[in-house]
Amino acid sequence: MATKTLAKYIQEYRQAHNLSLRDFAAECDLSHTYISKLEKGIDDRTGAAIEPNLQILEQIAKGTHTDLTNLLMLLGKIDSSLIYYDDIPLSESEDAQMEHVVQLPILGEIRAGEPIFADEHIMGYEYINKDEVKTGKFFFLHVVGDSMINARIYDGDTVLVRKQEDVDNRDIAVCLVNDDTATLKRVMKTDQGIFLQPENPKYDPLFFSHQQVLNGEVKIIGKVIKVIFKL
């Protein structure tokens, strides 16, 4: 299949369907100013090439009445080989895989500092190099809050998490507290139990005795492997 740039794809689609920038933007549920940038392919302020994320490409695919996989193939971003992670859902449209990367879900926000209900709502999808996720099951979580700032995990960052039920002492983990709240903390193990230690002095640690751990009042659901910083 011959490939083309996203800018060319948008231009040709608008011309073929006689759509203005505003009309096309409305079809994709995006701003017309952003569509203008995509059609140019370059950010006027920085001169850098614009690389839209997967969510944007999904909206463009929907707005142009095509399948996301077809669009990605047309743009030369994926090959025909697909992979599956057994218990972690991929995109609803297709289990798309680029040649050297895999697509993982970004699960619902967790509040680093003030635990919130941990639903398994998928916010979107992100690509990562396959070599980074070869051993185990992985997912992304979006961070809200400032309790881990001294570990260089900030509000708006995304963390890559490997699913596992235990971590080593001082690892940063995603934990479920009382089965319905999630928190991102450093796990400190002692003879008496475990502390979920924030990395911000204005927050207090959470302590759980060994009995509370056995009772399931706190459960480790994954280890933070990598932080993707918000620019």
For the annotated catalytic residues, the residue numbers are: 147, 185
Checking 12-15 for CB contacts under 8 A at 24+ apart, the result is 13/64, 14/39
**Nearest-10 crossing angle of helices 32-40, 21-28:** 110
Kindly report the backbone phi and psi dihedral angles of residue 143, in degrees, each rounded to the nearest multiple of 5, phi listed first: -100, 135
Report d(CA 106, CA 58) in Å as an integer.
Answer: 15
Kindly give, in sequence order, each residue whose CB lies less than 8 Å from that of residue 25, ignoring residues fewer than 6 positions away.
Answer: 31, 32, 34, 35
